[in-house]
Amino acid sequence: MSNKRVLSGIQPTHDSFHLGNYLGALKQWVELQENNDAFYCVVDLHALTVETDPKLLQQRTLVSAAQLIAIGINPDKSTLFVQSQVPAHNQLAWVFECITGFGEASRMTQFKDKSKKGGAERTNVGLFTYPILQAADILLYQPDFVPVGEDQRQHVELTRDIAERFNKKFDKVFNIPQAQIIKSLAKINDLQDPTAKMSKSAASMSGVIELLDSADTTMKKFKSSVTDDGKEVRFDEKEKPGISNLLTIHSALSGKSITEVENDFSGKGYGDFKTAVAEVVISALEPIAKRTNELMSDRSELTKILKSGAIKANQVASETLKAAYSAIGLIS
């Protein structure tokens, strides 16, 4: 894939991304920027659906952008921006809300899950319209591909439906994008419960490796990771989910194949293996944390990068918005 337009977004809902986000999604963003015209945004408006202290949201938005740069998103190659700095997202979202069925939006599984979890009291209207704002995020940039995890497939499908409906009813304004969900990408599991996906909403953080964890914390988390009976370092997701998860992590970061890693540890115990995985992870994450901290210590520079990303994003987005407004009959 090359010379395509790519767009993706991530919510600034936590203080640090985790290893699952990095290996499952963000590493791909870095690769895609090499031969494509990539737009990546920190979706702070989406984060408003979860009640957060204003100062904390501000901090998390900046630290999310800083981490994206630290993992290798290069603002000279990709357009990196913050969603709320491009007003066209909200403007187009309203248009889309008016051509999306209530029933259609009610069928979104993420909405159903989140509203069920939070209960009626904590379910705001924003949570309901969230996927429609996401459709605007995407369609404003006319992307060919939207690299996301499996859980976002339905939102990209809705985006395609909205685009097709708009094009058919009014004028052919939108390109129809495709979700890019790479099956072979690492699915990283929790170190304490290796049958469950590593997730920011885990009950305990002891099985979740955060990109900004200290080396000590990372080492401790790996040393206390849950492994399986037996002592052979062998990939077998059914019988040895813990060891298999560690092998996946090692291989993704060391660049060695799973078989090579298995061979390196034949005849050695789980203890040695856990330490070695921790070392590989620490040497990958240390420079990321260091670079994130540097970027956070000069916020004016970081803000400048994001402002210039927003200028580029605004140019593309406002053109699409203009075409959509005009097609639907709003006068300019």
- Which residues are catalytically annotated? 114, 197, 200
Residue 202's Cβ-count burial label (10 Å; 0-12, 13-18, 19+) is middle
Which of positions 147-176 make contact with ligand TRP (CB under 6 A)? 148, 152, 155
Q: Beta strand pairing status for 79-82 and 37-42?
A: parallel
* 24 binds ligand AMP per the rule CB under 6 A: yes
Residue nearest to ligand AMP according to CB distances in the complex: 149
User: Please, what is the minimum distance in Å from the beta carbon of residue 94 to ligand TRP?
Assistant: 16
* 137 binds ligand TRP per the rule CB under 6 A: yes
Of 320, 330, 326, nearest in space to 87 by CA = 320
Write out the E strands in 128-262.
145-147, 178-180
Asked whether 261 and 247 are in contact (CB, 8 A), the reply is yes
Residue nearest to ligand TRP according to CB distances in the complex: 9
DSSP label of 240:
B
| Partner interacting with residue 64 (select from ligand AMP, ligand TRP, none; CB below 5-8 Å by kind) | none
User: Please, what is the minimum distance in Å from the beta carbon of residue 83 to ligand TRP?
Assistant: 7
Binding residues for ligand AMP, total number by CB under 6 A: 15
* 153 binds ligand AMP per the rule CB under 6 A: no
Choice from 80, 86, 127, 138 touching ligand TRP (CB under 6 A): 138
Choice from 6, 7, 10, 163 touching ligand AMP (CB under 6 A): 10
Q: What gap in Å lies between CA 153 and CA 13, rounded to an integer? A: 20
Stretch that binds ligand TRP, among 57-65, 130-138, 216-224, 292-300 (CB under 6 A): 130-138
* Pair of tokens at residue 109: 């599984």
Which of positions 122-151 make contact with ligand AMP (CB under 6 A)? 148-149, 151
| Partner interacting with residue 25 (select from ligand AMP, ligand TRP, none; CB below 5-8 Å by kind) | ligand AMP
Q: Beta strand pairing status for 5-10 and 79-82?
A: unpaired
Choice from 108, 146, 191, 198 touching ligand AMP (CB under 6 A): 198
Of 239, 238, 204, nearest in space to 224 by CA = 204
User: Please, what is the minimum distance in Å from the beta carbon of residue 172 to ligand TRP?
Assistant: 22
Asked whether 289 and 211 are in contact (CB, 8 A), the reply is yes
Instruction: Report the Cα 44 to chain-centroid distance in Å.
Output: 13
| Partner interacting with residue 24 (select from ligand TRP, ligand AMP, none; CB below 5-8 Å by kind) | ligand AMP
Q: What gap in Å lies between CA 51 and CA 122, rounded to an integer? A: 9
Of 165, 181, 163, nearest in space to 8 by CA = 181
Q: Beta strand pairing status for 178-180 and 5-10?
A: unpaired
Closer to ligand AMP at the Cβ: 148 or 324? Answer: 148
Phi/psi at 121 (5° precision) = -60, -40
Q: Which residues bind ligand AMP (CB under 6 A)?
A: 10-11, 20-21, 24-25, 148-149, 151, 187-188, 197-200
Q: Which residues bind ligand TRP (CB under 6 A)?
A: 7-11, 43, 46, 134, 137-138, 146, 148, 152, 155
